[in-house]
Structures are given as structure tokens and as C-alpha cells.
Structure 1
Amino acid sequence: MGWADGDPLAVRIRVAFGADLSADPATWSWTDLTNYWWASDPIELEWGRQSSATRPESSTCALTLRNGDGRFTVGNPTSPYWPYVRTWTPVSVDVDLGDGTGWRTRHSGYVRSWSVTWPGRSGKLAVTRIESVGVLGRLGRGSPPARSPMYRIVAANDGLLAYWPCEDEAGATQAASGFRSVAPMQAAGNVKFAAGDVGRGVQRFGTKPLPLLVLGGSLSGRVPAGTSSPTSWTLEAFWQTGNPVDTVVLLRWTTLAGATFTRWDYVDSYDDVYGTYLVAYTASGSPTVVWSMPTRHVGPYNLRISAVQNGGSIDVTIMTGPFTVGSVTVTGTLGRIDTIALNPDQRVISSPAPLDFVVGHLRVWDSATSPLTYSRVDAHPGEAAHLRLARLCAEDGIALSVPTVPDGGATAMGLQPDGTPLDLYQQCEQVDLGIIYESGPGLAYLPRWSRYAAPVALTIDAADRQLGGNLTPTDNDQQLRNHWTVTRIGGSSAVADDKESITQRGLIPSSPRLNLASDDQLQGHADWRLWMYGQTSTRYRLRVPLHTRSGRALTGDWVACQPGSRIQVVNAPDAAGIDLIDQTIVYARETIRGRRKWMVELATEPADRWEVGVWDDPSFRWDSRTTTLDGDHNAADTSMTVSVARFYDIWSTTATPYDLLVGGERITVTSMSTPGGSGPWTQTANVVRAVNGISKPQAAGTAVHLADAKRWGL
């Protein structure tokens, strides 16, 4: 027995008091509060997004708990949950349909308010109304800074002792630290913040403008002591240098007392013997050339120098970009890094080459390895939208579920800009025409590829009274855009328009700016958006009572639905004008009243815009854009003549039967004659009329199209 058989609905309400929001949600400890549920007030759930929303929206939940002893009163020290009755505490609402599948989560979010009220003003009964939002609501708080791609990827990793992005603005007098516990780097000499450029521009390499040190500027800072055992560290920096005409210490760091070497210098020299070298000094100033090579790497590139204690020796590795250029061992005891400086001698660097000394993203790791790889040092040009979204979420510690997308179905993006998390997520969604939505404590993504010809997730039979309330279609121009100018950020643009629609309804333009990889993608994106939104469309507001006898049978399918899921209403009322209503879910509101009533309200939009053709599938055929009726035909005619303006639009004489749509009437062609004339061409078809129940005379010049026409995907 279960909900579908008439049993009460099993509801579970849990709260993770004291949860560490930066930890894996799987580690949270949950307290079951179902026994305190005040079922007289409804549980109200909302998810998806309003039809006018231009960015992902958070789900919401509201429910009421009995609070007679004040245990859900914020700040009450007598509460058994004190001091954890606070905002942004995780909450989960689940249902069990009794079908053997177990609990299904209807809302996973964070408490935004604990509102205590006394119904009836008696003071004898106190309740707390919880209002919560999903993870998108938590991510959307405040005004986070717009971070560069390199900053994001560095800061997302553990094991950093110190990090100075050096992305400060032009008026800076210090290089800000990436950590509150580490002091900024101090500037000396002539440091020109935000003045340094690198080959092909800094954005190409995923960073904001960096300091220019070629005029004698120096930056220095202190590094917290590490705890690695055995002692080890890694230094990394992104930079570009010229070819100095003298010897310049580019990078210097000192180590704590007790080490064999208390100072290390990374040097660039005009000397033909040592073009670049690493020299270590003892406390008495005695130098040892640890590594050298006669050539220079002027950049831009990432420098990595690692060291680890190995018995009585020190293993040192030097990398420029993905290449290991040095791997050596010296005798001695390794010390932990204490201070670090760029151009410590404040040398004015003279160079015959046009490259300057530009440096940034200086970091120190508490290990002899770095979690970062630099086979590519850039802002990820050409990265697929769904893969970029997955990487961004991983950098932010947000779980993301994404279905597999073949290479041919991916949307290639341009350079990743500086941005806030939600802005960067939205850019992926916008360019791919996918849907970001909440799934448990994390996010999920429905890519464009998965929206094509999607399977039906829920079928509602109106004849079986599975619809409740009024069937409310909306047929207006709210989404209509008949002129599209699609611009590639940093590139060109393309136009697609419907001149007939513009003549009939006036110009309704849209001009999205998309982060596409190349200008070659523009026309396809403009055409596809015109296809999707260039015509009026019928959207619906549907009510589905899941607590009725027939409605309970839908619940198993309903709880698997999500934003973008395809639903169909069969046996629609006659006044709807069609027997089958085919839509996708945009927004849902669920209301659970006690354990016996469960109502769903839906906002939907047409699914046919995602019905694309499949190559070499005989069930998909080309439509004609230039076919019209060649004369008037009454409602009883079983032979109809058409005129075709383009030879490539003539109708098949061998693939019959197939259905045409003429003035709203569906007509089945049982045979079609060969084309006559020299252009326009005429063909005569034997037909079955009024296949969809619409019977009417048809006038000459009426457009003739393939019924259920499909479009090739973007």
C-alpha cells in the first residue's frame, strides 16, 4: 500500500543544526523535526522560474512547526538546538510514496527566516513559520567581487600558505593578499600597478592587468610557516620578462633559521653561460648554483620552483609552464619560506626586446607539488558551455549534475571573463540555451542537447479528470521577438528577422551578447532564436490535483519532473482546439495540506520548438517554404492542387502517405503527382480531409506546410 492506493502521504522534515556550509553536505548531521510539523498550515514549494526571468531563480519553501516550548525561537538559550536556530541552516523536505523507492526530496535549501507567531492571539499556542531558499538563493547573497579565471582556479585549491593575485587597480600602493591571515605585499621603488601587459593581452591568459616592475619596482611579503613533513614547499608565479642586458634577481625568498640555505635567488643574466639560474646562499653568504641553463624563457608563462627534504639532501624541481627544465639534488637541510620578494634589488631593467617585467599570481604551497597544471595557461577559449559550468561549480565547491553531451552537441565558448559565480553560470546557460536548476544541496544542468526531442516525463489525461480548475492558455506576444541581432562578445554580429511578422506586428527586437568562441557560430544562433521566439506561442497554466483518485496515479512520474521536463495533456477539452497539449515545465508551485491534499500548479511553454529532425531517419522530412494552394477548394474536395515556387521544395511522389497542414486543417496525402510546368511547378494530390477534426473551405494562395515539421538543431 502507498499514496497511489489511498494511504496518507509520508512527509519528512529535517534540519541540519550547526552545519558547516563550507563542508561536504554528506557530512551534515540531520535532526528529524517531522513530529513538530504543524499540518494545519500548508507546505508551500516553488521551483523553476517565472516566464519573465532572465536568470536562474532559487526554489522556495514555507512550512510551519509547533513551537510551544520556544525551541525554534532564534536566540532562545533554553532551546535544545541553541545556538544553532539561525538563518541559513540547511533544511530538507521529503516525501515517501510508499512505492518502494524511498524518500524523494521536494526541497533542499537554507532557512531564511524563523518567524514566530501566536495564532488567535491566545498566547497558548506558538508556531514558527520557516521560509527557506535553495542553493541559488544562498549564492545570490551580497555583492561578491568579479574574479578573474586565474584567481578562481588558484583560490579553489587547498594547501596554499600565501597568495597574492597582484590584480590591484592602478592607484594601489600594495599588492592585496588573497587571504585575510596573510599581509599584503609591500611596494617599493617604481611599481606601476595594472600597467603590465602580456602577449595577446592579459585577458587571454585569464588574469586582470598586473604590475609592471621594469622601471625598478619591487614587491615583498611574508609567508606563514608551513607544516609539511618532510619539509617542502612550492613557489609559483605567472609572468613575462624581457632580455635584460645585465644580471637581475627576478625572485628572492628567505627561509627560517636552521636551514643550510637561508636565501634563494632566481636570476636572469645576460651572461652567455648562465642565461637563467637558481642560486642558494648559506647564512654566511656562500653561494651555490643549484641549477642553470643558457637560455631564457621570456614568457608569458607560469614559473614553478619546488623543493622537498629527502634524507640529507634537497630535491629541487624547476618548471616553466608544463615543461620541467630542471631537476637537481643538493646536500643540505631545507628551511621553510619566511619572506619573498619580486625584483628585490629594485633594478631598472633594460632590454633590447619589447617585452616588460610583468608578474602576478604569486603563491606558496605547503608541499613539493602543486594541484594546478599548466599545459594551458589561458582563459579557456573554445571550452564547451556544459564543461565550463561544471568547472566553475567545482571551483566554487558546488555539486553539479550534467548529462553526457556529444562533441557535436556542445556549444563552444569564448574567453572566460572576470565575473561573479552566478554571472559566469548564467553566461554558460545563455550561450547554450540550457537550464540551470537546483538539485538537492547542489545544482543540475539541462543542456540544449538534452532538450531536443525530449521524452515525455508526465502524461495528464483530461478525460480522466487529472486536470483541476480551469485550463488556462496564454497566447500573446510576451515572448515574441521578430528581429534578432546576436553579437559575439569581443567579435562580430549576425541578424535574423521575420519580415512578415514585422509588417503585421511591428518591430520587436532582441539583441543578446553571447560569449561564443567564433563569429562562425553567430548566424546559427540568430536563426535558432528566431525559430524559438519569432512566432506567437501558446503557453499554459495547469492545475493537477495529486490527491484525487486519478491524480494519485501521476505522483510517481511527477516527483521525477524538473524544469524543462516535457509534459503532455491528452484528451484536452474541445474548446482547446487541439487534442494533445505538448509543453515543457517552466515553473511549478506545490501545496501540501496535511497528509491528504497535494496540489500542483504549473506554468509551461511549447515543447514543439525543441522537436528537431534526425539525419537519415525516414520519419523526418523536409518542409516546403514556397508551397501554396493553386486554387480554391471546398471542404469536401479530395483532390487538391498546389503551386511550388522553388524546385527544391517539390513534394515527394513516393514517400506517401504524409500529412500537410493547410489553414489549420490537417490533410493526409495518399498520392502526389509529378511536378508540371517550368516554375512555378504544380502538383496534384489525392487527400483525406479534416484529419484533425477541422473541416473548412481553403482559399487559393493559402500556405501549405508539412504537418509536424521538424527543424535541424542548432
Structure 2
Amino acid sequence: MPVLVEAGWGGVVQMPWSITWTDITARVDMVQGVTITRGAQDELSEPQPGGCTMTLDNQDGALTPGNPNSPYAPWVRRNAPIRVSALHYPPRTGAGPWPLAQLCDDFDSGVVDPALWSSVVGGSAEVGGRLRQPMVSGVTARHTSVRSWTLTGSQTTVKLCTAPAAGGSSSASVSWYVLSQTSGTRLRWHYNPVAGTLRAASEVGGSDGAAVSLTYSPIDHAWLRFRETAGTTYWETSPDGWDWTVRRSITTPAWVGTDLVQLEFATFRSGGAPDAAEWDYLGAVARPRFYGTVNEWPVSWSGLQSSVSISATDLFKRLNRLPPLRTCLVEEIVSSYPLAYYPLTEPAGSTAVGDLSGTTAGPLTVAQVGSGGTLDLGTAAGPAAATDALPLLTPVSTSAGKMLASDLGQGFQDASSRGWLQLEFWFQTSTPGRVIFGMSGAGGMSQQVWSLDGAGALQAESGWDGFLAPSTVTTGNLADGAWHHVAYDEILQQVWVDGVLRASTPVTIATELRQLTVGGYKATRLWSGAIGHLALYAVPYAAPIGAALATHYEAGTTAYSGETADLRITRLARYAGVDSVTILGTTHDPVVGQGEAGSSVVARMREVEATESGRLYAERDYLGLAYQSRDLRYNPDASSEVFEIAYADTETASIELADDDQKLVNSIVATRPGGATQKVVAQESILAFGLYEQDMTLLKTTDSSVVDAAYWRISRYGNPAPELREVPIEAFTMSTYLDILDADISSYFTVYDLPDQALAAEMRVTVEGYSETIAENSHRIQFRTSASSTDSVWVLGDPVYGQLGITTRLAY
């Protein structure tokens, strides 16, 4: 089949390295095919969540959710990971000998092809769409090709679908060879089920003392490859047939350049229970098309025939269902994985303060010390960019008032004993000599207190059995009525105040800490002022994070205003639990802070994308995001094209040259947060077509950059040129099939030999998205495109992009 569909039963989609994928391709209804949608409708609309639909055979009930007899139970459920790849088998062309890459077999016919395989022994056979080699004690199974192939400058690829178990054998072997014309001289991938190893060998006389041995992983080593190029031979593995890792390389043996070679699959075992090795997709070149999760498993019947018509969605489904973001400061702290985190942002009238770490840390409750005093939650205005109100503590005296107390729990106590402690907190006061917070162990034996001394300087106090030794940090008077942020790293003994390293303070935080009091310690030195965002971290592997915690000062004061768009996208992705973001392009302007709460993470990302005229979308080969800057599309030329296609080779029924006012804009009113409202117009366009006005709110840091962005839009769409907006292609039959599959969002290709009525003989287009259907011997792709010339910018002296009055659009 020209497609590979795999389900990650029981796997976690955001942990692809942990998923063992199951091939369910044989269940796909290839008459209907697999349909995938990706990208945007045009360059002015947002890329939409990618989707995939297909119908799967369920005659055995294996895909019925909740069926305890399913071999996949209990993992046939919503949000099961799924991925789809297109497979291309290079055709054998011309007269032999042929490149080894053209030795291809999908093993689907059930009959061994004698034109490919010269010797089949030991029960080796095509079974269920795979090459199946039984492993029976004392029997060697072999599947050997004809000797008609050359490895020089070529490669060969296969998937080891089923790796047999040791099964009580004293020795067992699963091998894949490239055989020279000399017996025992060969390249070998060798899996040893008894030792659990995978070896890459270049054998002479049947042995190789320098073979590289790997601990076998059915995930990482699912695909195997031999490859020779420019005098070097490689052994490579891949989890998906696309992303390869070199496991060994050597100078190409001399015989590779002279001998016709054979491929051979061989298995053997001595003793133990019978088993089998299975191989598939020999010679297939994989191209990922979709990676996401299944939305539902609806079982339907036609008479007694059962099927499941599933739909799946890419990463954006997961992102779109996330709750609204909290303030930038809260998101920063939560995404740093604290062991206990008390934002102290509960509204007025609350009687307790909760922990947001998701651990077992208990809530902070109000504790009365002496009589009188107040502790008003939701009253004090917090740091500038952290808009949530914080508690205001107003004691009557140092020993009469209210504070907060909590039992951090056994989990925190254990973790604080095993690792190093880091912490951070915010405070505001005009009264020195008071305690911000304190911690102690069971019975008060170990203690740690953070306070201001009588001069308002920060100090850390630590001790045991009631004794506290102060260590003062050179900070000057912090009791100045302003908000201050403190981060401490026990590993490096460093204290950061307001984002600045103030001292390496010899403070050792006591172990087995459990009791926490905020706003006082041991019923004295009660805090007068406000406290917020207290976070405690335990780092078991001696990884200092104090410098990273220190950057949270900027989160609370500016929400990182001024950081570039690529960094902002990466930061927002981290809030969503997405660690992989591919940044493409180099032009990334500064953006203002997005500190307030309320918007979704996707909405925040789209704000940045729109501000920068960028492109944000989900990857199609793993769970990750890609963000493209606008300069990635500047001035495309022939060298940057993915492919070319003649008009006659497309499905011409749907091609049309569009020239309308769909994208026309000639007047823009633009503004930015806290900035001026400005207007940019294209008078010639208004005179010719009438007024087409648009409002834009951009996250720019200067008014001039807002004008630049507005001009960029006006200059491109004040008089849009006629364009091809859709280009359908039956790609499967094209010699450039793999090149066509490589086309993705923002890729270029050229349609040439257009009909005489076209405005030019050829037109270069930019891919904005596509819909595709992969069926038996068919792969139809409907590309949604825009005119590449829209993104051209002026280049002084360039014969194409330097023409005055024609290509004088300035880069932005």
C-alpha cells in the first residue's frame, strides 16, 4: 500500500519516545482512502488544526471501544495517538544491475516474487502482508535476493515489524545482510533476542571485531537502513522511517564498488519456544503526513460488516482545549515545576490560600497571633504586570496580628530531604525588621527564615533546635514601599533580588522541612505589607535553577515586554506543555508583554503571529510546533522551489486564475497597546477601487514599527495581482512524487506551460495549506496557494527585485 497508518496504543502523545506504534494499515479502506487537511485557506487566514479521516475494518471487533477481547484493549479510546506516512517505492528502471534502492517489496501479494528472490528456505514466506520468518530450534530460515544490485551511491531500508523473544533459547539470531560475492564478506544488522542487542557489523570471514553493539529498542530501532555515499557506508536506525540516526559509519569496503550484491534476511534459534521475525516495507521511502490523536471510535455496521470511521486532529486540538492562561508570572512559575506554589491571589473574603503546584502541599490558612490586626486577601495591588491582587497584612504590633500557616505535607518533606532547595517570593513593605516567611521541620528542629533586618536589608536565617543564625544579603533598604522579587539557589548559594545577582550567601537550608508560616515566624516579627507568589522547588539532580527563577522578576514587572517574537512563541508553548518549537526564518521583532490573564494560549500565539506576519502550525511528523518569520518568504527563486509541474500534468478542472477584491486593503487604522492610533493609506488604490479599510491591533513596542507593519500589508494588498489559489495534483504518478510530498506550508513551486490565455507562461506559488487523499495507487493533493510575488522585497541592484516602480516594496 502507498500508506502506513500506525496507532500508539496506550502511549502518551506528548511523549513520542515512549510510544510503541502498532501498524494498522491492513485495516484501512483504501477505496475511500485516507484524507488529510492541513494549513490555511490563504495567506491572510490562520492555519487551522490539521485533521485526518479514514475508515477501518472492524470485523473482528478489535476497534470496538471497551471490548475486553480486543488485542488492543483497553487502549481503543479517545485521544489515542495516531500517525500517517505516505510510502514510495522507487521503480526499477532501465537495464540491470540496478541501484539497491530499487529492490522494493511490500510483501502484500502473499507469493514470493522470483524476479526478486532467488532462494527461500526454512519456511520463510509472505504472510499477512509481511515477510515472516519462523524461528524454530535448529532451523535456519533464509530469504535471499537475486544478485542484480549495486550499493554504491544507494541505500536499502526495511522495517523490523516483529522482533522475536528469547523464548528460552541459548542462542538466537535475526539478521539482515548485504552480501558481497565473497562468502562471509558482508554488511550486517544483527538482532540478538537473548542478549537484547542490535549490532552493526562489516564482516570479513563471518566476523567483525569492531562491530557496534546497541541495546535494542523496538521504538528507536523500528526501521533499519544501509546507506553508501561518497565513499562512506552507514548503518542507520529510525523510529518512523523518516528521522534517521547514524549508528555506525566506515570507509566503504572495496567490494562495495566492484561486486553485485544480494540482500538476505536470515533467522536461527537453538532451543526454546518457537517464534517468528517479521519484516515489511523493504525499500520504502517514508514521508510523514499526519501526527495527532483520534477524536472518536464510532462503530457502524452494513449488514453484518463492521467498520470504524475515525477522525483525528493534530496538536492544536490539545492546545485549543486548554483552560485560559493565568497571568504571565503565574504561568512562568507553574511551568518551572515548583514543589509548592502559593500565588496568594485568592479574592477578598477567602479564608485560605491554595497551592498550585499540583503536589500534596496543604493550603495556607489564617492564623491569629495575639489579638487584633488584619489579613485582607485580594486587597494589595501586585507587581505591575501581575494584575492579580495580593493579601495585605496589617498587624497591631510585631506579636499581635495575623499570618498564614500550612503543613507542606510528607511529599514536600521527603523531597526537601533528597534534593537541593530553590525558592522565590515577592514582597512589599515600608516596615523593616519583619519576617516574610519561615519553614521548619518536625518538632521545629530544623529551621529556615527569610526576613528583613532592622535596616531593611534581606537576610536568611537558618538553624536547628530553636537557634537561628542570620546571614545578611547586601541589598540596601528593601522596606521602601516597592515590590521586590527574591530568588535563591541553594546549590550555588546565590541570592537574586529584582533580577540581579546580589551575593553568594553561605546559607544552607535545613532538611526535612514541613511547616510553613507566611507573614511571621513563631508568633513574632509579624509582617506589615504585602506578600505574593511564594514558590518552593526541590532539585534532586543538583541542577541549579536560580538564574532562571531570577527572570521571573521580569515576568512580574513587564511580562517580558521587548523579547522577540520567536522567544515569545517558545515561551507560550512552554506554558502549554509543548517543549518542541521549530523556529524558521531570522526576522523576529520585539513584542510587548502579554501579562494579563484570560486569553487562551492559542489566542496569544495568534496575536504574535498576526503582529509579525508569521506562520504558526503543528508539525506533521511529531508533536511539536513550527513558527515561521515573514522573511522566510522573501524573494523566492528557482533554487528554493520544491518542485515544478506542467499545467498539463495537473488536474485542470479546478484550476482558475483569481482576480477579485477578496484580499484588497488600501486603508489601515493601526494601534498597539499603550501606543498611538495611526492610519496608513494607498491613495492610488482608493482612487481606483474605492475604500477598503481594515483595523489592526499589533503587539509592537514602538509606534514606528506599527506603521511599518501597516505599510507592509498595504504594499502587498493595495492592488493584489491575479493568482492561482488552488492547484490540484495527482501526485502518485509523477516522477517528482517525493518532491511534491516535501511541499509544506510556505514552500514554493512553479506551474509552467500555462495555457495561452494566462497572463504568463509560468507562475510561482506559495503553499498555504492542502487537502490530500491517499488511496490505492492514488495520491491526490489539492494545494491551496498564493502568489509568491506578494512577498517580494526590493534589493538594490538586483535584476529582478531592484526594478524601480515595479519591485520597490521595502522589506519589513
TM-score by structure 2 length?
0.67
Note the C-alpha offset of 1:349: 6.3
Instruction: Answer whether contact 1:543 1:600 (CA < 8 A) is retained.
Output: yes
Please, what is the CA RMSD of the aligned residues? 3.0
Aligned with residue 157 of structure 1, among 322, 326, 336: 336
Matching of residue 147 in structure 1 with residue 326 in structure 2: yes
**Compared with structure 1, are the counterparts of its residues 235 and 466 closer, same or farther at alpha carbon in structure 2 (3 Å cutoff)?**
closer
Letter aligned with residue 486 of structure 2? L
CA distance in structure 2 between the aligned counterparts of 1:294 and 1:538, rounded to whole angstroms = 65
Q: Secondary structure at the match of 2:766?
A: strand
Q: Which runs of 5 or more structure 2 residues have no equivalent in the other structure?
A: 91-100, 102-241, 243-284, 368-372, 396-400
CA distance in structure 1 between the aligned counterparts of 2:462 and 2:526, rounded to whole angstroms = 23
**Compared with structure 1, are the counterparts of its residues 172 and 52 closer, same or farther at alpha carbon in structure 2 (3 Å cutoff)?**
farther
> 2:442 — aligned with what?
256
CA distance in structure 2 between the aligned counterparts of 1:295 and 1:412, rounded to whole angstroms = 33
> 2:729 — aligned with what?
544
Letter aligned with residue 48 of structure 2? E
CA distance in structure 1 between the aligned counterparts of 2:576 and 2:506, rounded to whole angstroms = 37
> 2:781 — aligned with what?
600
> 1:462 — aligned with what?
646
> 1:40 — aligned with what?
31
Instruction: Answer whether contact 1:232 1:307 (CA < 8 A) is retained.
Output: no
CA distance in structure 2 between the aligned counterparts of 1:569 and 1:293, rounded to whole angstroms = 69
Aligned with residue 107 of structure 1, among 285, 290, 294: 290
**Compared with structure 1, are the counterparts of its residues 66 and 234 closer, same or farther at alpha carbon in structure 2 (3 Å cutoff)?**
same
> 2:204 — aligned with what?
none
**Compared with structure 1, are the counterparts of its residues 438 and 231 closer, same or farther at alpha carbon in structure 2 (3 Å cutoff)?**
closer
Letter aligned with residue 303 of structure 1? V
CA distance in structure 2 between the aligned counterparts of 1:20 and 1:405, rounded to whole angstroms = 31
> 1:523 — aligned with what?
707
CA distance in structure 1 between the aligned counterparts of 2:740 and 2:774, rounded to whole angstroms = 14
Instruction: Answer whether contact 1:583 1:605 (CA < 8 A) is retained.
Output: yes
Instruction: Answer whether contact 1:322 1:375 (CA < 8 A) is retained.
Output: no
Note the C-alpha offset of 1:60: 0.7
Structure 1, residues 432-456: CA drift from partner, whole Å, max 9, x if none?
Answer: 1111122122111221121112344
Structure 1, residues 113-133: CA drift from partner, whole Å, max 9, x if none?
Answer: 212222xx321x211112101
- After TM superposition, list the pairs within 5 Å mapping 1:5-16 onto structure 2: 10-16=2-8
> 1:341 — aligned with what?
518
> 2:196 — aligned with what?
none
Q: Secondary structure at the match of 2:704?
A: helix
**Compared with structure 1, are the counterparts of its residues 463 and 517 closer, same or farther at alpha carbon in structure 2 (3 Å cutoff)?**
closer
CA distance in structure 1 between the aligned counterparts of 2:768 and 2:507, rounded to whole angstroms = 62
**Compared with structure 1, are the counterparts of its residues 186 and 471 closer, same or farther at alpha carbon in structure 2 (3 Å cutoff)?**
same
Note the C-alpha offset of 1:532: 2.2
Matching of residue 430 in structure 1 with residue 628 in structure 2: no
**Compared with structure 1, are the counterparts of its residues 10 and 361 closer, same or farther at alpha carbon in structure 2 (3 Å cutoff)?**
same
Aligned with residue 243 of structure 1, among 415, 430, 436: 430
What is the aligned residue count? 588
Structure 1, residues 347-388: CA drift from partner, whole Å, max 9, x if none?
Answer: 7867xxxxxx33222111123743634257211121111122
- After TM superposition, list the pairs within 5 Å mapping 1:569-608 onto structure 2: 569-594=751-776, 596-608=777-789
Matching of residue 130 in structure 1 with residue 310 in structure 2: yes
CA distance in structure 2 between the aligned counterparts of 1:19 and 1:532, rounded to whole angstroms = 46
Matching of residue 377 in structure 1 with residue 553 in structure 2: yes
> 1:563 — aligned with what?
745
CA distance in structure 2 between the aligned counterparts of 1:447 and 1:394, rounded to whole angstroms = 19
Matching of residue 18 in structure 1 with residue 10 in structure 2: yes
Aligned with residue 86 of structure 2, among 95, 100, 123: 95
> 1:650 — aligned with what?
none
Q: Secondary structure at the match of 2:744?
A: coil
Note the C-alpha offset of 1:269: 3.7
**Compared with structure 1, are the counterparts of its residues 13 and 559 closer, same or farther at alpha carbon in structure 2 (3 Å cutoff)?**
same
> 1:671 — aligned with what?
none
CA distance in structure 1 between the aligned counterparts of 2:44 and 2:70, rounded to whole angstroms = 40
Q: Secondary structure at the match of 2:659?
A: strand
CA distance in structure 2 between the aligned counterparts of 1:322 and 1:297, rounded to whole angstroms = 14
Note the C-alpha offset of 1:324: 4.2
Instruction: Answer whether contact 1:488 1:516 (CA < 8 A) is retained.
Output: yes
> 2:591 — aligned with what?
413
Letter aligned with residue 389 of structure 1? I
Instruction: Answer whether contact 2:298 2:310 (CA < 8 A) is retained.
Output: yes
Note the C-alpha offset of 1:231: 4.4
- After TM superposition, list the pairs within 5 Å mapping 1:132-531 onto structure 2: 132-141=312-321, 144-158=323-337, 160-170=338-348, 172-180=350-358, 181-187=360-366, 190-197=374-381, 202-203=384-385, 208-214=388-394, 218-224=403-409, 225-228=412-415, 231-234=418-421, 236-244=423-431, 247-257=433-443, 260-261=445-446, 263-270=447-454, 275-280=457-462, 282-283=464-465, 285-291=466-472, 295-298=476-479, 300-305=483-488, 307=490, 318-320=495-497, 321-325=499-503, 327-328=505-506, 334-343=511-520, 357-367=529-539, 369-370=544-545, 372-374=548-550, 377-378=553-554, 379-403=559-583, 405-406=585-586, 409-418=587-596, 419-439=599-619, 440=621, 441-455=623-637, 456-531=640-715
> 1:711 — aligned with what?
809
Task: Judge which range, 179-188 or 380-389, deviates more.
Answer: 179-188
**Compared with structure 1, are the counterparts of its residues 621 and 317 closer, same or farther at alpha carbon in structure 2 (3 Å cutoff)?**
closer
CA distance in structure 2 between the aligned counterparts of 1:526 and 1:329, rounded to whole angstroms = 54
Q: Secondary structure at the match of 1:603?
A: strand
> 2:111 — aligned with what?
none
Instruction: Answer whether contact 2:564 2:588 (CA < 8 A) is retained.
Output: yes
CA distance in structure 1 between the aligned counterparts of 2:345 and 2:46, rounded to whole angstroms = 29
Instruction: Answer whether contact 1:318 1:326 (CA < 8 A) is retained.
Output: yes
Note the C-alpha offset of 1:399: 4.5
Note the C-alpha offset of 1:82: 1.0
- After TM superposition, list the pairs within 5 Å mapping 1:638-657 onto structure 2: none
CA distance in structure 2 between the aligned counterparts of 1:360 and 1:476, rounded to whole angstroms = 56
**Compared with structure 1, are the counterparts of its residues 338 and 472 closer, same or farther at alpha carbon in structure 2 (3 Å cutoff)?**
same
Structure 1, residues 561-591: CA drift from partner, whole Å, max 9, x if none?
Answer: 1112222211111222322222212221101
Instruction: Answer whether contact 1:218 1:346 (CA < 8 A) is retained.
Output: no
CA distance in structure 2 between the aligned counterparts of 1:383 and 1:81, rounded to whole angstroms = 47
Matching of residue 81 in structure 1 with residue 72 in structure 2: yes
Note the C-alpha offset of 1:294: 8.4
CA distance in structure 2 between the aligned counterparts of 1:307 and 1:458, rounded to whole angstroms = 53
**Compared with structure 1, are the counterparts of its residues 570 and 622 closer, same or farther at alpha carbon in structure 2 (3 Å cutoff)?**
closer
Q: Secondary structure at the match of 1:114?
A: coil
Matching of residue 623 in structure 1 with residue 795 in structure 2: no
CA distance in structure 2 between the aligned counterparts of 1:534 and 1:220, rounded to whole angstroms = 63
**Compared with structure 1, are the counterparts of its residues 168 and 710 closer, same or farther at alpha carbon in structure 2 (3 Å cutoff)?**
farther
Instruction: Answer whether contact 1:405 1:449 (CA < 8 A) is retained.
Output: yes
Matching of residue 50 in structure 1 with residue 41 in structure 2: yes
Note the C-alpha offset of 1:62: 0.7
Task: Judge which range, 106-115 or 48-57, deviates more.
Answer: 48-57
Q: Secondary structure at the match of 1:601?
A: strand
**Compared with structure 1, are the counterparts of its residues 238 and 585 closer, same or farther at alpha carbon in structure 2 (3 Å cutoff)?**
same
Letter aligned with residue 564 of structure 1? S
TM-score by structure 1 length?
0.75
**Compared with structure 1, are the counterparts of its residues 235 and 211 closer, same or farther at alpha carbon in structure 2 (3 Å cutoff)?**
farther
Structure 1, residues 306-336: CA drift from partner, whole Å, max 9, x if none?
Answer: 557xxxxxx9654424324352267x96332
> 1:692 — aligned with what?
none
Letter aligned with residue 19 of structure 1? G
Note the C-alpha offset of 1:175: 2.7
